[in-house]
Structure 1
Amino acid sequence: MAVSPLVWIITCLVILGLFVFDFFAHVRTPHAPTFRESAFWSAVYIALAIAFGIFVIAVWGTTFGGEYFAGYVTEKALSVDNLFVFVIIMSTFAVPREYQQKVLLIGIVMALVMRGAFIAVGAAAINAYSWVFYLFGAFLIYTAAMLIKDAGHSPEAEQERENKIVRLVKRFLPTSEEYDGDKLITKVDGKRMVTPLLVALVVIGFTDVLFALDSIPAIYGLTQEPYLVFTANAFALMGLRQLFFLIGGLLERLVYLSYGLSIILAFIGVKLVLHALHENTLPFINDGQHVVVPEISTAVSLSVIIGVLVVTAVASLIKTRNGPAGQDGSDLDAQKDAQRQK
C-alpha cells in the first residue's frame, strides 16, 4: 500500500480540521448536549468513517478497505469499553455535565497524539523485527484473560488507580477544591492553581496511555499498514465524545461487553501468533524457517469481530431488559433523573 507524504499531510489536516470544528461548534460554549444532538453528530462521524473506508477501497482495493473496516470496528468497540472508565472519572471528580465535553474532547486529542506515537514505534518495530508479532499476540491473549478475570468492571479498583494519579498530580501542582467555570487554571488568594477540571483531564490522559497498550497491538493484528492503523484510530476516537453522551445511560446494560472484547482480543492474539509463525525468523523455532500454519483472512476477522459484538450486545440487552443488575425500570429512571440533576 503506497501512501505518499502528501496524502499523509492532507489526512492529518482534515482530521485536525474536524477536531477544530468540533471545538468551535460544540465545545467552546459550555452546555450539556441533548440526546438529539449527540445522536445526530454520532451518525455524522460514523458516516464519515464509512465514507473514508469506501475511499480506501476505491483507491487501494478491497483488501485494504476490509483491513480498515476491521480495524475501525475493533477500535470503536474498545472505545465503547473505555467509556466505562470515563464515566467513573467524571463521577469521581463530580465534573458538571456542561463541562464534560471540554474534558472529553481535549482528552481524545491527547489520546490520538499518544496513539500516533505508539503507531510509529509499532511500525518501526515490525519493520525491523518480525518476531514482535509474537509479543503482540502474547500480550493480547494475556489482556483477554485479564478482561475475563475482571469482567463487569470494578469501580473501586478504577477509583483507587485514579486516586494514586491524583495524589501524584497534587504533589507537584497546587490544586483548588472548587471549579471555576470551565477554566483549567484559576487564582485563589492571588495564587495560580489548577482546577479539578485539569486534574480530571490529567487522569484521562494517563488512562488513554493504558488504553493504547491493547488497542494498538490489536489493530496491528488486523493490518500492518500504519496509515490504516492511524486513520482507523482517528475515526474511532472522533465520535467518542458524542457517543459518551448518547449511550452513557446504556453502558451499565452492556454487562457482557468485556467478555465479547476478551474473545476479540484473544482471536486477534492468536491471529498474530499464526502470522508470526508464518514469518518466523527466530532460530529456536523450526530452525529459523517459516512454519506452515493457516492464516486468518481479513474477511474472516471482520466476520468474527462483528458477530461477537452483535451477540454480546443482544445478550446484554436481553439480560438487562428489566434494568441493570436486576433493577426494574422505575429504579433505572430514578437513577437517570438523579444523574441529570448532578
Structure 2
Amino acid sequence: MHVTPLIWLVTIAVIAALFVFDFVSHVRKPHAPSIRESGFWSAVFIGIAILFGVVVFALWGPQYGGEYFAGYVTEKALSVDNLFVFVVIMATFAIPREYQQKVLTIGIVLALVMRGAFIAVGAAAINAYSWVFYLFGVFLLYTAVKLIIDHNKDEDARPDEGRIVKLVRKVVPTTDHYDGDRLVTRIDGKRMITPLMLALLAIGFADVLFALDSIPAIYGLTQEPYLVFTANAFALMGLRQLFFLIGGLLDRLVYLSYGLSIILAFIGVKLVLHALHENTLPFVNGGEHVAVPEISTGLSLTVIIGVLVVTTVLSLLKNRSDAKRAETEDVR
C-alpha cells in the first residue's frame, strides 16, 4: 500500500479539523447533550468513517478496504468497552454532566496523540523484527484471559483515583471544588488544579493502558500504519457522543467483555500463525518459515462482526429475561 506524505498530511489535517469543529461547535459552551444530539452526531461520525472506508476501497482495493473496516470495527468495539472506565472516572470525581464533554474531548485527543506514538513504534518494530508478532499474539491471548477474569470480579467494587492522580495531589495543589469548566483555578491568590483536571489525568492514563491492547490488536488485522492510524482516529471520533448516547445502556451489555475476549484471542491466534509463517527465529523450525494456514481479512471481519452481533443479542435477551423474572417475583 503506497501512501504519499501528502496523503498523510491531508488525512491528519482533516482529522484535526473534525476534532476542532467538534470542540468549537459542541464543547466550548458547557451543556448536557440530549439523546437526540448525541445520536445525530454519533451517526454523522460513523458515516464519515464508513465513507473513508469506501475511499480506501476505491483507491487501494478490497484487501486494504477490508483491513480498514476490520480494524475500525475492532477499535470501535474496544472503545465502547473503554466507556465503562470513563463512566467510573466521571462518577469517582462527581463531574457535573455539563462539564463531562470537555474532559472527554480533550482526553480523546490525547489518546489519539499517544496512540500515534504507539503506532509509530509498533510499525518500526514490525519492520525491523518479524518476531514481534509472537509478542503481540501472546500478549493478546493474555489480555483475552485477563478480560474474562476481571469481568468476573466484583462489579460493584469501584476503583480508587489511581496512583497517578494520588501522586499529583501530593505534588500539586488541588481543590475539591469546581470553577465552571476550568482545569486550573485560583483560590486566595494560589493556583490550584480542579477535579476536572484530575479526571482528565485519570482518563489520559487509562488511554495509555487501552492503547496497549488496541494497537497490537489492530496490527493483527493490518500491518499498514496508515490504516492503523485512521481506524483508531475514526473509532475515537464520536466516542464522546457515544458516551452520552449509550452511557445508561452500558450495564445492559453484560456479555460484551466475553465477546471482546473472543475477538482478542482470535486476533492473538492470527498473529501467532502469521509469526510462524514469517518465522526467522533460529530455535523455531531452524529459522525457516513454518507452513501454517493464515487467516484472511474476510474471515477476520466476519468473525469480529459475528461475535459482536451474537454477544449484543445475547445481552439484550438476558436483560429481557431478567426483567420478566423480576416482574414475576414482584407479582408473587
1:49 aligned residue: 49
TM-score when normalising by structure 1: 0.93
Change (3 A) 1:23 1:246: same
Change (3 A) 1:154 1:71: farther
2:148 aligned residue: 148
1:289 aligned residue: 288
1:303 aligned residue: 302
1:221 aligned onto 2:214: no
Give the Å deviation of 1:256.
Answer: 0.5
Match of 1:248, SS? helix
Match of 1:308, SS? helix
Unmatched 5+ stretches in structure 1:
332-342
1:262 aligned onto 2:270: no
- Asked if the contact 1:253/1:324 (under 8 Å) is kept, the reply is no
2:196 aligned residue: 197
1:334 aligned residue: none
Change (3 A) 1:139 1:244: same
1:99 aligned onto 2:108: no
1:245 aligned onto 2:244: yes
CA distance in 1, matches of 2:166, 2:156: 16
1:168 aligned onto 2:167: yes
Letter in structure 2 aligned against 1:82: N
Give the Å deviation of 1:152.
Answer: 5.1
CA distance in 1, matches of 2:170, 2:73: 40
Letter in structure 1 aligned against 2:77: A
1:137 aligned residue: 137
CA distance in 2, matches of 1:50, 1:326: 40
Give the Å deviation of 1:156.
Answer: 6.2
- Asked if the contact 2:175/2:192 (under 8 Å) is kept, the reply is yes
Match of 1:193, SS? strand
- Asked if the contact 2:162/2:202 (under 8 Å) is kept, the reply is no
Count of residues paired in the alignment: 328
Match of 1:283, SS? coil
- Deviations 1:12-50 (CA, angstroms, capped at 9, x unpaired): 000000000000100000000000000000000000000
- Asked if the contact 1:140/1:214 (under 8 Å) is kept, the reply is yes
CA distance in 2, matches of 1:155, 1:38: 27
1:36 aligned onto 2:43: no
1:9 aligned residue: 9
Match of 2:110, SS? helix
Change (3 A) 1:268 1:49: same
CA distance in 2, matches of 1:252, 1:280: 43
CA distance in 1, matches of 2:282, 2:302: 35
CA distance in 2, matches of 1:142, 1:167: 29
1:127 aligned residue: 127
TM-score when normalising by structure 2: 0.96
1:79 aligned residue: 79
2:21 aligned residue: 21
CA distance in 2, matches of 1:204, 1:326: 37
CA distance in 1, matches of 2:310, 2:260: 11
- Asked if the contact 1:179/1:195 (under 8 Å) is kept, the reply is yes
Unmatched 5+ stretches in structure 2:
none
Give the Å deviation of 1:103.
Answer: 0.3
1:339 aligned residue: none
- Asked if the contact 1:152/1:258 (under 8 Å) is kept, the reply is no
